[in-house]
């Protein structure tokens, strides 16, 4: 039975979430339809452009993504503190970049005078917008609705384009986060759609590699901030160089079909998050199959379930085996 979205998101425990959307039709979201030989490859650019545009408006950062033939993978970071910090005017301006807004929000931006009762309703609207801008469901809704409309128009049809709900997984600690990011970035290689990370079109890892060759980090993605510290700037708690090396080494093992033992000395990041090389290969090839709910070490699950008032801990046995 599906779990309500509000019972899957606990920002007290983690701000990182893995989201998957799957196409419901026989025709691919992207790729070539074997029945008609029609190519839908151009739709990958639709998804990628809309995704990065939304991240520029929402208080939600993109950590990793991969646009596949019939589904999309996203790893998102919810920056709720940023949403609380933004001024009322900034909140309205951001929302107006997504939707038309209301009569009152437009009057406010135009500098028109408002009555007391209008101010009351305006403040309620601003609070609602502020909450939405840090809400994964709204982020995914605007992403998927836009793609569905464009695809329906192109296909000259109506009806549902995506499955009823996107899948969401809480990533409760560093081990779950780094495993999931690598899993997402290596999707095209595992699907034999690309030979190397740098040739994996419409993925976050390709953007990161292109920027890294120029000694930079991409502005449209959440940056790597280095090793975790007690007080550190916002960013992924890993080193970019280590992550790219990790993806490359893992991808090589997957691509060559080796049962795989990777020397721990060559993967310093795995040592830091305490995942054995054997478990790492399983995590980065079978993440969605192995885990069907929140992901993290057993200790991380306790607080997460307590805050959401959930008695059953999903994935606990697999988390104990692979992440402990």
Residue in 239, 241, 249, 242 with CA at minimum distance from that of residue 196: 249
The most confident of 6-20, 60-74, 211-225, by mean pLDDT: 60-74
Confirm if 17 and 170 have CB atoms less than 8 A apart. Answer: yes
Query: What mean pLDDT comes out for the span 182-207?
Result: 88
Q: Model confidence over 201-212: pLDDT tens digits?
A: 999 999 998 888
| Choice among 7-16, 32-41, 250-259 with the minimum mean pLDDT | 250-259
Confirm if 63 and 221 have CB atoms less than 8 A apart. Answer: yes
What average pLDDT does the chain have? 81
Is residue 271 predicted with pLDDT exceeding 80?
A: no
Q: Which two tokens stand for residue 321?
A: 């085996």
Q: How confident is the model at residue 290 (pLDDT cuts 50, 70, 90)?
A: low
* Beta strand extents in 92-150 (DSSP E only): none
Residue 271 CB contacts under 8 Å (≥ 6 apart), including other chains: 264
Domains and CATH numbers, the chain: 16-172 (3.30.70), 176-290 (no CATH)
Please give the residue that has the higher pLDDT: either 196 or 95. Answer: 95
Q: How confident is the model at residue 265 (pLDDT cuts 50, 70, 90)?
A: very low
Confirm if 254 and 186 have CB atoms less than 8 A apart. Answer: yes
Q: How confident is the model at residue 194 (pLDDT cuts 50, 70, 90)?
A: confident
| Choice among 8-12, 222-226, 278-282 with the minimum mean pLDDT | 278-282
Burial class (CB in 10 A: 0-12, 13-18, 19+), 237: middle
Chain mean position to CA 18:
5
Give the 3-state secondary structure of residue 39: strand
Is residue 1 predicted with pLDDT exceeding 50?
A: no
Q: How confident is the model at residue 267 (pLDDT cuts 50, 70, 90)?
A: very low
Confirm if 173 and 296 have CB atoms less than 8 A apart. Answer: yes
Query: What mean pLDDT comes out for the span 98-109?
Result: 94
Confirm if 92 and 109 have CB atoms less than 8 A apart. Answer: yes
Please give the residue that has the higher pLDDT: either 247 or 35. Answer: 247
90 HSE (CA, 13 A, CB side): 11
Confirm if 163 and 24 have CB atoms less than 8 A apart. Answer: yes
The CA-based diameter of the chain, rounded to the nearest angstrom, is 70
The Cα-based distances of 203 to 44, 47, 66, 251 in angstroms read 10, 11, 4, 14
Q: How confident is the model at residue 159 (pLDDT cuts 50, 70, 90)?
A: confident
Please give the residue that has the higher pLDDT: either 229 or 36. Answer: 36
| Choice among 173-187, 229-243, 277-291 with the minimum mean pLDDT | 277-291
Dihedral of CA atoms 232, 238, 241, 245 in degrees, nearest 10, equals: 180
Confirm if 29 and 182 have CB atoms less than 8 A apart. Answer: no
pLDDT at 264: 37
pLDDT at 47: 92
Is residue 310 predicted with pLDDT exceeding 80?
A: no
Q: How confident is the model at residue 184 (pLDDT cuts 50, 70, 90)?
A: very high
Q: Model confidence over 120-134: pLDDT tens digits?
A: 999 999 999 999 999
pLDDT at 197: 83
Please give the residue that has the higher pLDDT: either 85 or 271. Answer: 85
Measured CA to CA, the distance from residue 166 to residue 35 in angstroms comes to 27
Percent residues over pLDDT 90 in the chain: 40
Count other Cβ atoms within 10 Å, centred on residue 26. Answer: 9
Give the 3-state secondary structure of residue 73: strand
pLDDT at 140: 94
Please give the residue that has the higher pLDDT: either 317 or 283. Answer: 317
């Amino acid at each position: 039975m599906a779990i309500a979205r509000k019972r899957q998101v606990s920002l007290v425990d983690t701000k990182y979430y893995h989201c998957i959307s799957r196409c419901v039709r026989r025709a691919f979201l992207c790729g070539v339809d074997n029945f008609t030989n029609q190519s839908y490859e151009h739709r990958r650019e639709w998804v990628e452009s809309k995704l990065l545009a939304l991240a520029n408006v929402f208080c939600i950062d993109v950590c990793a993504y991969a646009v596949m033939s019939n589904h999309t993978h996203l790893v998102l970071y919810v920056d709720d503190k940023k949403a609380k910090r933004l001024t009322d005017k900034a909140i309205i301006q951001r929302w107006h970049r997504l939707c038309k807004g209301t009569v009152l929000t437009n009057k406010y931006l135009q500098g028109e005078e408002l009555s007391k009762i209008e101010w009351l309703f305006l403040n309620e609207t601003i609070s609602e917008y502020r909450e939405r801008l840090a809400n994964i469901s709204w982020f995914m809704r605007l992403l998927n609705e836009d793609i569905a409309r464009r695809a329906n128009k192109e296909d000259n049809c109506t009806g549902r384009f995506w499955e009823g709900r996107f899948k969401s997984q809480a990533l409760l600690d560093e081990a779950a986060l780094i495993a999931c990011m690598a899993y997402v970035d290596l999707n095209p290689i595992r699907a034999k759609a690309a030979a190397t990370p740098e040739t994996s079109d419409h993925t976050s890892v390709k953007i990161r590699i292109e920027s890294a060759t120029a000694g930079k980090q991409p502005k449209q993605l959440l940056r790597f901030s280095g090793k975790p510290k007690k007080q550190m700037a916002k960013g992924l708690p890993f080193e970019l160089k280590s992550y790219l090396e990790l993806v490359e080494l893992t991808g090589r093992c997957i691509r060559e079909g080796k049962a795989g033992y990777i020397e721990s000395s060559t993967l310093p990041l795995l040592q830091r998050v305490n995942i054995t090389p054997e478990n790492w290969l399983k995590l980065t090839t079978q993440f969605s199959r192995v885990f069907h709910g929140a992901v993290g070490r057993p200790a991380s699950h306790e607080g997460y379930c307590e805050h959401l008032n959930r008695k059953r801990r999903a994935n606990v046995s697999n988390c104990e085996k692979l992440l402990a």
